[in-house]
Amino acid sequence: MAAYELDWSFGLISSAGKYLTAETFQNKIGATAGVMKKKQIWFLEATDGSDTVKIRSHLGKYLRVDGDGKFTGDGEQDNEETDLVIIALDDGRWNLKSNKYGWFAGGSGENLSAFTTEDTAEHNKWTVHLAMHPQVCIKNVKRKTYMHLSDDGNSLQCDEAIPWGFDATVTVTYFTGGTYGLQAANGQFLTNTGALVADADDSCKFIIAFLGKQMTFKSVASGKYVTALGASGICKATKSGVTKDETFVMEDSWPQITLKANNGKYVSIKQGVELAAKSAAVTDAEIFQVEPDSAGTWILKSVKDKLWTAVEANAVSTTTDATDLTADTAPEACKFTIEFLGNKVKISPAGKPAYAVQGSAYIKSIAGGPEGADEFTYEIINRPQLILRGEYGFVGVLPSGLLECNKSGATPFPMTIEDGFCKLAASNGKYWKVGDNGVSASSDAAESYVIELFPESKLALKSVEKGKYFQGAQNGAFTCTGTKIDASTLFEY
């Protein structure tokens, strides 16, 4: 399976508690903002085999230290003055060091500079707030296997060759001060001892250090690094130093779905390479990963790392090896149109009718047949907690229970899906409720919503009762008033 390594994006918080901001006018920078929005997000460009990195603004310019000790945001990629070295400190903060001059960049407000070699100076320390969507897949570099919740729900372990099912998504949770927690699919946090706990404490806090495109997790409580131990790769912080055993890579977590046909059975690969709606229960063989390409079509992968492929006789099989393939590079026979119809979908090969269940339970692209035979009830199974980020920030909950959509930090909402309809709750145990003045986590009874998937890891969420899409506004208002798909109704998930 081709790896989808994440582009690192983050905010940098000065010792005075303000985010480093890149202004449009003359690419000026200053540590002046109280919240992290577009101007406060920076992107890490790492080079394999090098200790140096470049840090890019939303304007496409780079942080730079010049020969006079000026710290600016107007650098070009090919300028060696934009080469920086990140030094991860014991408390989770960073020093940013000029690779060319050896000076540390820091300051507060608009008084930023880089003409000191004092790495211990408080004004040279930056708190890192990761800005990308926090639900990811994490691969151990040495084992080349992925972190997931164990079958007994008591630990995280690295022994899956392909991250598959609800247990394979890990949420990287930001704690105030620049440390992070690793939250399993059941909502519990990894501790330095390898145990999982419901409520995060100091034993759940880890310092993230970047090693090019790789990273390590260092326990705040013990000072040891997370590694994968034994045959099952149980994750614990037990190592004093860093080798490949203690290095990890984060990758995008694509949606994985089940498809139930109108005969009440799930589409499966248990019977061989051809797809048939024959299974009464969901195992890994009934789960398919969906990934979009730039043209708006999709590929579907099986747990055996094979792609759905349109073959002769209008059938569909899982015969194309997905290794090193992405949605854009896959053969045309592996690209499909997905039409979202509330809690159901239709899946069609290029220029042909949608796939439908035949009398044999195999699915084929044949026009006609019983009504609804070409519609499949679909459920996303690897988002037990849903985190939504729109164009103005994350969706979060106010103390009153009202939801807002301009938060800099992520809020996970427990999600259950039944018969293709999703139900969302909050940490207070209350369900989402659509009201006249917005959406609140205030109901004892769950409302039903449906999900439509879009490229760039985005979705639209629609109320079944209201027939409207959830929509975000710049002032933070989160309502169920959308009538079309646009930037205000699309949320990264």
> What is the band of 50 on the pLDDT scale with cuts at 50, 70, 90?
confident
- At residue 5, the pLDDT reads 55
Residues 390-446: tens digit of each pLDDT: 988 899 999 999 999 998 889 999 999 999 999 999 989 999 999 998 999 999 999
> What is the band of 115 on the pLDDT scale with cuts at 50, 70, 90?
confident
- At residue 214, the pLDDT reads 86
Q: What is the mean pLDDT of residues 187-202?
A: 97
- Residue in this structure with the two tokens 């979908």, named with its chain if needed: 345
Residues 438-490: tens digit of each pLDDT: 999 999 999 999 999 999 899 999 999 999 999 999 999 999 999 999 999 99
CATH of range 9-130; options 2.80.10.50, 1.10.1040.10, 3.40.630.10, 3.40.50.300? 2.80.10.50
- At residue 480, the pLDDT reads 98
Residues 309-350: tens digit of each pLDDT: 999 999 999 999 998 899 999 999 999 999 999 999 999 999
- At residue 462, the pLDDT reads 98
In a 10 Å sphere around its CB, with 0-12 CB exposed, 13-18 middle and 19+ buried, how is residue 134 labelled? buried
- At residue 158, the pLDDT reads 97
> What is the band of 6 on the pLDDT scale with cuts at 50, 70, 90?
low
- At residue 322, the pLDDT reads 94
274 bridge partner residues = 317
Q: Tell me the CA end-to-end span of the chain in Å, nearest whole number.
A: 21
CATH tag, 385-492: 2.80.10.50
Asked if the domains at 135-252 and 385-492 fall in one CATH topology, the answer is yes
- At residue 415, the pLDDT reads 96
Residue 166: what are its φ and ψ, rounded to 5°? Answer: -65, -25
Reference 166, options 3, 287, 260, 280; nearest CA is 287
- At residue 211, the pLDDT reads 77
Residues 55-96: tens digit of each pLDDT: 999 999 999 999 999 999 999 999 999 999 998 887 878 999
Whole-number mean pLDDT of the chain?
A: 93
Spatial distance between the Cα atoms of 292 and 356, rounded to a whole number of angstroms: 22
Reference 407, options 490, 461, 478; nearest CA is 478
As its CATH architecture, domain 135-252 has Trefoil (2.80)
Q: What is the mean pLDDT of residues 164-173?
A: 94
Q: What is the pTM of this model?
A: 0.88
As its CATH architecture, domain 256-380 has Trefoil (2.80)
> What is the band of 240 on the pLDDT scale with cuts at 50, 70, 90?
very high
- At residue 1, the pLDDT reads 46
In a 10 Å sphere around its CB, with 0-12 CB exposed, 13-18 middle and 19+ buried, how is residue 288 labelled? buried
Residues 206-235: tens digit of each pLDDT: 999 877 678 899 999 999 999 999 999 999
Domain positions in the chain? 9-130, 135-252, 256-380, 385-492
User: Which long-range contacts does 242-245 make (Cβ < 8 Å, 24+ apart)?
Assistant: 242/211, 242/216, 243/142, 244/141, 244/142, 245/140, 245/142, 245/143
- At residue 369, the pLDDT reads 82
- At residue 435, the pLDDT reads 95
Residues 19-46: tens digit of each pLDDT: 999 999 999 999 999 988 889 999 998 8
